[in-house]
Amino acid sequence: MAFEPDWREKELSLKEVAEKYPDFPKLIALKIDASRRGIKYTDRALAAVDPDFHHVEPRSVITDSGTKGANSVPLGVTLRDGTLICQGDKVITKHTRREPYTLDIVDGRPVLIDLGEEIEGVEFWEKPLFYDKVTSNGTPMREVASARPQRICVIPQPVCEFWKHRCGCKYCSIFSDNMGLDAVKRSEAYFQDVYETVEEALKQKGRYASFMMTSGTALGGEELLDDEVDAYIQTLQAAGKAIGAQKFTVKLVGTAFSEKQLRRLYDNTGITTYTTDLEVLNKDLFEWICPGKAKYIGYDEWKNRLYTAVGIFGKGNVNTGFVGGVETAQPHGFKSEEEALTSTLAEAEEIGAHGVSFAETVWNANPRSVFYDQREPSLEYCVRLAQGLADIRRKNGIGIYTDDYRRCGNHPNTDLARID
C-alpha cells in the first residue's frame, strides 16, 4: 500500500473536526493530527535549528528515522499553550499514507503549514544544560539521560528481550538498533553516572518537574522480570540520592510486575507512580499485536497486576499506556472506527473503574516496525478516543499528576486534564 492521494476526501480535516467538536481544544486536536501524520521539516527549518541552543538528538535516536548516523534533528516542538508535539523530522517512505505537516520558517519563526496555509507557530525545545557536561567517569551526560522541556528521562535498559524471542510488539521500533540482544547488566559506574547527571540537571532551576524512567523488557532474574526491577531500583536510588527526597515525582513505565516486585520497588525507592502498558485494550488484539506480552504475562494477568498496583501506589498513581488507533490495524483489527471506539472505551470503562488511568499515544505507523505499511485511523477517531478516555478518568475521580502536560506532555487524553 502506498500514498493515498484522496485521503483528505475520506476523513474530516482539522478545521472540520474543530467545527464538529467545538469543546475539544483546537491545539490538542492539532497535536493529535501532527502526531498521526508526522511533521516534515524544510531545509530552511532545519537550518534554523541551533544545536548550541535547541534540543537535538542524532536521527538514530528518533524512532522513525531509519537513518542512523545522519545529522541531528529536534525531538519535538511546543505550541503556544504549552502543548507538546513529540515528533521529529518525518522520514517519508513509499508506504506513507498521508502527507505530513510541513514545518517551515515564516517571518523568522517556525510555523506548521498544511496545504500551503499557516496553521500554527511552534517553538523548538531548548537544549538541556547538562548535555554539555561529562561525569567523573568520563561519560557524556547526554548519553546517561535525555529530556523533554519538563522532565528528565533515564533508560537503564535500552534493550527489549521480546525481540530476542521474536515476539516484540508490532507497532514498535523502540530499541530496534539493539534488536535481538540480551538485557544489559549495569555496573556501579553507570549508577554513579546517573547520580551525577541528575544532580547536574537539577542545577537548571525551574526546568524539571519530574523524573521519568523506562526500559525494554528484561525477562531474566530469579523471578521473571527481576532483572528489570533491579535496574529500576538501582537507578531510582541513584537519582533519589541526587534529588534528596524520600519520595519524588517519578513516572516509571515498566513491564507488568508481580505484587512482590511492585512492593520491592515501592518500599526501596522514591517512586510515586507506576505505568505498565496494555498497548491495546482488547484481549484478542493484544495477543496478535503484543505476542511477547501475551506469552510471558497475558492480557488478564496484565490487568490484574495493574489493579494490584493500585493497592500499593494508590488511586491516581497507576496508569496504563496504549497506542491509540492500533486497534484498527488489519487484518485482525476492527474494520470500522465506530466499532473500534465503542469496544475500546467499554474496556477502558472497566479498567478505569479499578482506579487505573490511561496514557494514550497516537499511533503513527513507523517505517521500522512490523506495522510499517498500516493505515492509521482518522483525526476524528483520535479526538473522540482522547475525549472518551478523559471522561472516564474524570468520572472515576482519578488524578493524572505525573502524566499531565506539565510533567509528561505526550498524551492527548491527559493533556485534557488541564481543563478538569
- Chain residues binding ligand SF4 by CB under 6 A are 160, 162, 168-169, 172, 174-175, 216-217
Nearer to ligand SF4, 101 or 286 (CB): 286
User: By three-state DSSP, how is residue 312 classified?
Assistant: helix
d(CA 317, CA 250): 10
State the minimum distance, in angstroms, from the CB of residue 192 to ligand SF4: 26
C-alpha neighbours within 13 Å on the C-beta side of residue 248: 22
DSSP 3-state of 138:
coil
What's the gap between Cα 317 and its chain centre? 17
**Minimum Å distance from CB 174 to ligand SF4?**
5
Report the nearest approach of ligand SF4 to the CB of residue 150 (Å).
23
Query: Least distance to ligand SF4 from the beta carbon of 213, Å?
Result: 14
Comparing C-alpha atoms, which of 154, 84, 29 is closest to residue 404? 84
**Closest distance between ligand SF4 and the C-beta of residue 123, in Å?**
29
- Nearest CB to ligand SF4, comparing residues 164 and 384: 164
Q: Quick check: 85 and 96 in contact, CB under 8 A?
A: no
Nearer to ligand SF4, 132 or 300 (CB): 300
Cell of 115: 496545504
If the CB atoms of residues 160 and 329 are measured against ligand SF4, the closer one turns out to be 160
CB of 175 to ligand SF4, least distance (A): 6
| Cβ–Cβ under 8 Å, residues 320 and 336 | no
Q: Which residues contact 42 (CB under 8 A, 6 or more apart)?
A: 102, 103, 104, 105
What DSSP designation does 134 have?
B
Give the single-character DSSP code of 333: S
Pairing between strand 77-78 and 84-85? antiparallel
Place of cell 518525518: 90
Closest distance of CB 292 from ligand SF4, Å: 6
What is the closest distance, in whole angstroms, from the C-beta atom of residue 119 to ligand SF4 in the complex?
A: 30
CB of 214 or CB of 378, closer to ligand SF4? 214
C-beta of 175 vs 334, nearer to ligand SF4: 175
Task: Compare residues 172 and 382 and give the one whose CB is closer to ligand SF4.
Answer: 172
Closer to ligand SF4 by Cβ: residue 296 or 401? 296
Residues 6+ apart with CB under 8 A from 402: 210, 249, 250, 251, 272, 273, 317, 408
Buried b / exposed e over 275-294, threshold 16 CB at 10 Å, is bbbbbbbbeebbbebbbbbb
Q: Toward ligand SF4, which CB reaches closer, 156 or 216?
A: 216
CB contact set of 348 (below 8 Å; sequence gap of 6+): 281, 358, 388, 389, 392
Name which of 54, 213, 219 is nearest 146 in CA terms: 213
**Can you tell me which residue has the cell 493497592?**
311
Q: What's the min distance (Å) between Cβ of 89 and ligand SF4? A: 22
